Amino acid sequence: MMILVGQLDSPFVRRVAATMSHYDIAFDRHVLSVFGDRDEVMRLNPLGKVPALIIDEGETLVDSAVIIDYLDEIAPPERRLTPSAGPGRRNVLRLATVAMGISERAVQLRVETVRRPAHLQSEEFIDNYRRSIRDSLDYLERETETPWSTGETLSQADFSATAALTHLSAKVEEFADLRAWPKLAAIRETGEALGAFKSNPFMEG
Ligand SMILES: N[C@@H](CCC(=O)N[C@@H](CS)C(=O)NCC(=O)O)C(=O)O
């Protein structure tokens, strides 16, 4: 059975776990922390990042986008969350990439404000990360349709937005309330109600 490495407080790990559940792909989990288990994480991924997906004794995939690309290859065609080609595919990838970019900025912001000693923190970096998150939320709110990101069809854009927004609102206080972005807030709420997300709950790490 495949093994998903990482904790569900990571939006990158969580979008992969939810995607696997949606595709009915069974998996075991290896719950490693990038901070507490750094050596073991680095043995699996030289970048020292999660998620990693061990698909076979000799093969480990890293980076959530690459992992999801592989999952789309093996998923039942009628359940696939990313169109295989054309403008529809580009649209889903564009929105999913901005959603995951928000998560990257949120992680950077927390590293700068929570992990780095106060006297070493950079106001310039902090402002840039905050601005990047806010502008990306505005961008997604403008570009998103209803009820789902691309209209009537559930897609990887919604899975990525759900994982990213739950992580952001839990971890960065100034974005705890997402009411300023009502379409995104609605997608997050409906996304969290899906079985795929309920069976992979966000956990505070
Ligand atoms: N682009 C990567 C980002 C993964 C990522 O940044 N994961 C975080 C966990 S939330 C991590 O491993 N951080 C540890 C580090 O940067 O040292 C993906 O989509 O998988």
DSSP 81-106: SS-SSHHHHHHHHHHHHHHHHHHHHH
Least confident of 56-65, 86-95, 103-112, 131-140: 56-65
pTM above 0.75, yes or no: yes
- Secondary-structure percent of the chain, ordered helix, strand, coil, rounded to 5: 60, 10, 30
Q: What is the pLDDT of residues 3-22, one digit of tens each?
A: 999 999 999 999 999 999 99
Ligand 1: atom nearest CA of 167 is: 10
> Do the Cβ atoms of 204 and 178 come closer than 8 Å?
no
What are the start-end ranges of the H helices in 111-155? 123-143
Residue with tokens 């922390």: 33
From 79, 106, 126, the end of a domain falls on: 79
Beta carbon of 100 within 6 Å of any ligand 1 atom? yes
Query: Do 100 and 22 lie in a common domain?
Result: no
**Do 170 and 163 meet the contact criterion of CB atoms below 8 Å apart?**
no
What's 56's domain CATH number?
A: 3.40.30.10
Q: Which of 50, 109, 168, 172, when mutated, tests ligand 1's pocket best, judged by the most ligand atoms within 8 Å of its CB?
A: 50
Return the sign of the alpha-carbon dihedral for residues 73, 11, 162, 150: negative
Query: How many Å apart are CA 25 and CA 67, to the nearest integer?
Result: 13
Strands 59-62 and 27-30: unpaired
Say if residue 70 is in the same domain as residue 146. no
Collapse the DSSP code of 188 into the 3-class scheme (helix H, G, I; strand E, B; otherwise coil) and give the result. Answer: helix
Expressed in angstroms and rounded, the spacing between residue 104 Cα and the centre of ligand 1 is 7
Atom of ligand 1 nearest to the CA of 100: 19
C-beta 36 within 6 A of ligand 1: no
191 lines ligand 1 (CB under 6 A): no
**Residues 68 and 105 placed together within one structural domain of the fold:** no
Give the domain range for residue 138.
86-194
pLDDT band at 62 (very low <50, low <70, confident <90, very high): very high
Q: Are residues 119 and 152 in the same domain?
A: yes
| Contact status, residue 22 vs residue 79, Cβ threshold 8 Å | yes
Task: Name the domain boundary from 52, 79, 106.
Answer: 79
50 Cα: distance to centroid of ligand 1 (angstroms): 5
Is residue 9 within 6 Å of ligand 1 at its C-beta?
A: no
- Tell me how far apart the alpha carbons of residues 177 and 169 are, in angstroms, rounded to a whole number: 7
CA of 41 to the centre of ligand 1 (A): 11
202 pocket-lining for ligand 1 (C-beta < 6 Å): no
Q: What is the dihedral of CA 135, 155, 23, 165, to 10 degrees?
A: 30
CATH number of the domain that 134 lies in? 1.20.1050.10
User: If 0-12 CB within 10 Å is exposed, 13-18 middle and 19+ buried, where does residue 95 land?
Assistant: buried
Q: How many domains does the chain have?
A: 2
**94 and 54 housed in the same domain:** no
Report whether 27 contacts 3 (CB < 8 A).
Answer: yes
**Shared-domain flag, residues 65 and 155:** no
Residue 165 lies in a domain: yes
Query: For ligand 1, what atom is nearest to the CA of residue 38?
Result: 17
Asked if the model's pLDDT at residue 205 lies above 60, the reply is no
Mean per-residue pLDDT for 42-66?
A: 95
Assess whether pLDDT exceeds 70 at residue 204. no
65 with 92, same domain? Answer: no
* Amino acid 58: pLDDT: 81
